[in-house]
A and B are shown apart, each in its own frame.
Chain A
């Protein structure tokens, strides 16, 4: 309430028994603390959006989409960089678990998060100076073994924390599977190069052609560094244990792609190529084979149909569109030919689900098929090469044994990425390696500072239920599609298949985001409050405040919050005995209370003052 502009006569300003005087401007505000009408109090309580939750490195997706929507691209880029060192890379290669989890997927189509991420990543690439700075040097040295996504991420976070980081990489070029696995037409090398430059810019030293176990020993690592992160990935291809697998023309997926990626490939594929395996590596091999000149490419999988293949569906779709044939329910039991491959012998097979023995059951009784080929590329998974690691730190699977903080026993060694995630149930993917690297870097920092390591126990409320939001604010809009190169022309080139968003497209797509459970400063509550007792001092995210002295608890704001951030909590909880009703029992005694004090002293005052 206000008396602004009201001329109050002198005589009405003096309190005397029985009459409430007219309040002054600022006291007028206290006159009726209508908050004591309320039985339910609105509170701002941000929940975790499912996308952030699903992302392997918990990128603040809702946050950067919101910034993109408002045209604050640089802030958005800075936000994504908190958790992700190379959005330009994941913006191209990520299997986007965030989009699978996106609430908008239940409504019309999921947000194309990866495309917006790529838009931001490319923006960052174009910057003359990156927004990320190295931390204040703390004088400690850390070695990171392996320059793949996990190593890159750990080195990046450690540099930001002020460590002197050295990456040891056995290959001639840094990047791990980002370079030596993922093909150019998905991730152009110059994009990766630029991100590695960025890492060097924040003070990370990268030593290539340095192999731990050969050039540097375990003991040297221990002696020369305060701590060490092992992110060595899975570097050795699995074999299919077929007869004659050593014949000429038999290729393995990982080295095949790695050599092409590193620019050291001497392979020339023939016209007919078979790829064994049904995962993402196999798909990349099949599509790469086309680009290397193969005419007919056939993918042979144990899975009995495409749905069962452990592959990203879009990639599978794009591959089939490029003309790769699929052959299901078979495996190769022998490579036929005289010194050089001429054909494959195939038998029906299926997954048995066994974990220790071979997971594949082959029906040897059935009649063998002969399948003529010029080359076969075997892409049935990778394993580690850990000859140099003390046995106490190895698991039966041949990976590194860590505790739940990524630490090797009570040493200052940590491990992250595929090398620890194999068999964990977590898909072996770039973003998961990045998240692992990030978490391990933070744990390492804690150990070196002598702080206790604690698992995350905070219960997080992830908003999955659309009923908790106000959907009337979200008209249906189709997803903004990224353009693809036409299938016919792309199968021959190393050019990027998926094209980038324009600025307008990125903004349009980001605007589709519901901002699930998280206030995005839409101003709804602020505008619809009848009192109005919602104030906003600074016009930016989340900066609203409810004046509980006045809020009557009508809950209009809660009902109209599109994102589900606002919730109601009862002022009196009879079950738990919690009483929050501070205004009901008057935090501020209100004007009447203050006057009561004055009235008490009235008798002491000189008569002329009354």
Chain B
């Protein structure tokens, strides 16, 4: 039997003036694969991410949704906000389910049972699924290099079950499983799992990148790069959760920018051809971590020493990115200089332009 050539979609990369700024894009498709009426919280970061991802992917897309907010809050009465084929899968089987869909389409096309281009197969796993419960299955899908894009929408906790700590919850983050108290004043004592780098290091043949809702064009371009990449791709995307982070809803995008500007969420790409990291993404400003922390109730209990610890962590990330640290940020990493939150706020005046 003659095999049929797999026809692939190639999505154009969007022009991106200044990464985040003024992103009028006449090239985006007009169709809406993600529609309103769902019951995520107002200002939900993962929803914003869904909107951007599906806008970038377009109509010929299949979505896989392991358990989490983006399944539970979204699908009821046989309705979902997804106007493209979507399937829920058990929280642990994100990777295996997605791999199955990809393998099935390849086989169907090969056998002539599916006409048309190979669909964009996207798995949208929460960090609980991607970083803990479904880690093994996702690693398997990446390892076997199925032609799919696996996204970890990272809201840094198990949100849907009422805010529990995940291995992506940051140091100092309060959740119902990591409450602050007299014994453990900083709430969560462990630093988050370096999930995306783990994926890049373990599966170097995959396209791996981090992104944030604060930089929509960059995010959409990475989705498109991941989909254009022949083989498996992996994205970890920062998506604030207003319920768990406890902030005012209008700040969702702002937090997405601040987390990058404060060095807590380095944005990079892993280039599978060169087998190298690309650290060229630079936010407009560099800021002390306190600017990010002070907007969120989940960090409200932190003491100066904890903030300094987080600043140290951020400084390490900057160094990893090859950025020279301004004096003010080195200064802010010493608890003596940040007697309390108020003093830490003073450091904001030294916001540094890159």
Contact = CB atoms under 8 A, between A and B. Distances in A.
A22 B78 contact: yes
A133 B83 CA distance: 48
Nearest to B44: A530
B303 to A, nearest CB: 30
Contacts of A28: 37, 79
Contacts of A550: 36-37
Contacts of A29: 35, 37
B79 A556 contact: no
A522 B24 contact: yes
Given A475-B18, A558-B250, A559-B251, A529 B81 contact: no
B207 interface: no
A524 B251 CA distance: 14
Interface stretch (A4-12, A221-229, A432-440): A4-12
A524 to B, nearest CB: 7
Interface in A10-45: 12, 20, 22-23, 28-34, 37-38
B20 A22 contact: no
Interface string B83-94: 111000000000
A220 interface: no
Contact of B36 (A6, A8, A23, A547): A547
B252 A554 contact: yes
A458 to B, nearest CB: 29
B81 A1 contact: yes
A32 B39 contact: yes
Contacts of B23: 522-524, 527
B157 interface: no
A2 B80 contact: yes
B79 A1 contact: yes
B39 A528 contact: no
Contacts of B250: 554-556, 558-559
B216 interface: yes
A562 B22 contact: yes
Nearest to B242: A554
Contacts of B353: 476
B51 A1 contact: no
Given A2-B80, A23-B79, A473 B21 contact: yes
A5 B250 CA distance: 34
Contact of A556 (B17, B22, B28, B48): B48
Contact of B77 (A31, A472, A554, A556): A31
Nearest to A515: B22
Contacts of B21: 472-475, 562
Contact of A555 (B51, B249, B257): B249
B235 to A, nearest CB: 17
A527 B55 contact: yes
Interface in B96-129: none
B47 interface: yes
B34 interface: yes
A558 B34 CA distance: 21
Contacts of B300: none
B36 A531 contact: yes
B26 interface: yes
B43 interface: yes
B39 A23 contact: no
A134 B81 CA distance: 53
B346 interface: no
A562 B79 CA distance: 35
B24 A523 contact: yes
Contact of A1 (B35, B44, B45, B213): B35
Given A6-B78, A530-B51, A1 B42 contact: no
A70 B25 CA distance: 11
Contacts of B84: 4-5
B43 A555 contact: yes
In which size bucket is the chain A interface?
35 or more
A387 interface: no
Nearest to A557: B250
Nearest to A29: B37
Contacts of A38: 42
B254 interface: yes
B148 to A, nearest CB: 19
Contacts of B242: 554
Contacts of B82: 2
A1 B254 contact: no
Contacts of A246: none
Contacts of B44: 530, 554
Interface string B5-27: 00000000000011011111110
A20 B83 contact: no
Given A524-B23, A559-B253, A472 B78 contact: no
Nearest to A533: B36
B257 A472 contact: yes
A552 B42 contact: yes
B309 interface: no
Given A2-B83, A4-B83, A556-B253, A528 B77 contact: no
A527 B24 CA distance: 10
A165 B284 CA distance: 56
A559 B254 contact: yes
A473 B215 CA distance: 11
A530 B249 CA distance: 11
Contact of B78 (A3, A476, A528, A554): A3
B32 interface: yes
Contact of A22 (B48, B52, B77): B77
A562 to B, nearest CB: 7
A553 interface: yes
A535 B17 CA distance: 23
Nearest to A22: B78
A214 interface: no
A468 to B, nearest CB: 14
B38 interface: yes
16 contacts: A1-B37, A2-B80, A3-B80, A5-B85, A29-B35, A30-B37, A31-B77, A32-B38, A473-B20, A476-B353, A531-B47, A532-B34, A539-B30, A554-B249, A555-B250, A559-B254
Interface of B: 17-18, 20-26, 28, 30, 32, 34-40, 42-45, 47-48, 51-52, 55, 77-85, 213, 216, 242, 249-254, 257, 284, 353
Which 5 pairs across A and B sit closest by C-beta, in order of nearness? A554-B43, A550-B36, A530-B47, A554-B42, A531-B36
Given A31-B77, A472-B20, A559-B250, 6 more contacts: A2-B80, A3-B79, A523-B24, A523-B25, A554-B43, A555-B43
